[in-house]
Amino acid sequence: MNPKPKIAVHKFASCDGCQLAFLNAGEKLLELAQLVEIVHFVEAGMVAPDQTVDIAFIEGSISTPEHLDHIRAIRCHSRFLVTIGACATAGGIQALRNLADADEWIAGVYAQPRYIRSLATSTPVSHHVKVDFELWGCPVSTSQVMAAIRQLLFGVMPVDEHDKVCMDCKRSQTVCVMVTQGVPCMGPVTRTGCGAICPRFGRDCYACYGPAENANSLALGRRFEGLGLTSEAIARRFLFINNAAPVFAEAGRRWSGADD
């Protein structure tokens, strides 16, 4: 009898929200346990960080020297490495510190900053090691994670859903909040995956699933200007959860005047 494929879930700088996509799976998690052996997942009680695995899921950004050593070791011991969530794929909220002087921030927060070991920037996993697949979202959805596991185990590269949230709104016949209410919405440049949950409840999308394919951030920024937003407010729309994603970072610099 062939041994079950092994998977691991590792955490770096993050809030643990994407790991909950596993724990919230309920019965699906029990079904998954019949297909694979989960050898490392601290939040679920399994601790074996150095095990060789078929799939390693990574939550969180690389923010300390220890993180660098750890992610390189994980890459060496993994057949497939999959990042889950905004932090691992685009730096996350903590990547906002890349826009300022990190040493100055540390000195302003900690009474003894000399004891803080931190990198100058907080960066996506892909900046340091090869990533086989990225699952975007803040947090990722349980269905995304389960589908990716099944596809990888059967030798198929997971489908990269990069359609726009606006398309989900159209399919579900959700009324556009930007057109009908004049509410600035990031849906036109944000990838789907959440099911357009915010617009369905009458509020604007704030881009937690990162940039969609062919995201026209320039056109959306100009539309926001027409709705009365200041340049600073427009920049904040892009420099938020996925601020280090290149297309959002470029838009943020443009509207904040950093490129002038």
* Amino acid 120: pLDDT: 87
**8-state DSSP, 108:** H
96 and 177 together in one domain: no
**177 and 149 within one domain:** no
The span from the CA of 70 to the CA of 50, in Å, is: 9
pLDDT of the chain along its 260 residues, tens only?
568 999 999 999 999 999 988 888 888 888 888 889 999 999 989 999 999 999 999 999 999 999 999 999 999 999 999 999 999 999 999 999 898 888 888 888 889 988 888 898 999 999 999 999 999 999 998 888 888 988 998 888 888 888 899 999 999 999 999 999 999 999 999 999 888 999 999 999 999 999 999 999 999 999 999 999 999 999 999 999 999 999 999 999 999 886 65
Domain around 17: 6-153
Say whether both 217 and 122 belong to one domain.
Answer: no
In the chain, the number of structural domains is: 2
Domain-terminating residue out of 153, 178, 194: 153
By the 8 A CB rule, do 207 and 179 touch? no
Determine the Cα–Cα distance for residues 86 and 89; give it in Å rounded to an integer: 5
Question: Under a CB-based contact definition with an 8 Å cutoff, are residues 40 and 48 in contact?
Answer: yes
d(CA 24, CA 246): 31
Q: Are residues 46 and 71 in the same domain?
A: yes
CB 84 within 8 A of CB 135: yes
In a domain, 1, yes or no: no
- Distance from C-alpha of 206 to C-alpha of 22, rounded to nearest angstrom: 24
Q: Using CA atoms in the order 119, 125, 126, 129, what is the torsion angle rounded to 10 degrees?
A: 90
Q: Which residues pair with 58 in a beta bridge?
A: 10, 83
Same domain for 107 and 228, yes or no, is no
Bond before 139 cis per omega within 30 degrees: yes
Residues 25 and 142 in one domain: yes
Cβ atoms of 210 and 245 within 8 Å: the answer is yes
Residue 159 belongs to a domain = no
CATH number of the CATH domain containing 36: 3.40.50.700
Is 65 in the same domain as 104? yes
In a domain, 240, yes or no: yes
Instruction: Please classify residue 142 by burial: count the beta carbons closer than 10 Å to its beta carbon, then call 0-12 exposed, 13-18 middle and 19+ buried.
Output: middle
91 and 204 together in one domain = no
The terminus-to-terminus CA distance of the chain in angstroms comes to 64
Q: Tell me whether residue 107 is in a domain.
A: yes
Asked whether the beta carbons of 89 and 134 are under 8 A apart, the reply is yes
Give the span between the Cα atoms of 82 and 88, in whole angstroms.
9
Length of the chain measured in residues: 260
Give yes or no: residues 209 and 241 share one domain.
yes
Beta strand 37-41 with 6-11: parallel, antiparallel or unpaired?
A: parallel
| One domain for residues 131 and 172 | no
Q: At what angle do helices 246-256 and 217-226 cross, to 10 degrees?
A: 40
The answer to whether the beta carbons of residues 209 and 135 sit under 8 Å apart is no
**pLDDT tens digits, one per residue of 155-205:** 888 888 888 999 999 999 999 999 999 999 999 999 998 889 999 999 999
Contacting residues for 213 by C-beta, under 8 A, at least 6 apart: 162, 163, 164, 191
Judge whether 219 lies within some domain. yes
- Which of 123, 153, 183 is the C-terminal boundary of a domain? 153
| Whether residue 136 sits in one domain with residue 223 | no
Q: Which DSSP symbol is given to 52?
A: -
- Residue 158 within any structural domain of the chain: no
Whether 180 maps to a domain, the answer reads yes
Whether 31 and 113 share a structural domain: yes
Q: Name the domain boundary from 100, 129, 153.
A: 153
Q: Is residue 245 part of a domain?
A: yes
Full-model pTM: 0.91
Query: In 10 A of CB 41, how many CB atoms?
Result: 19
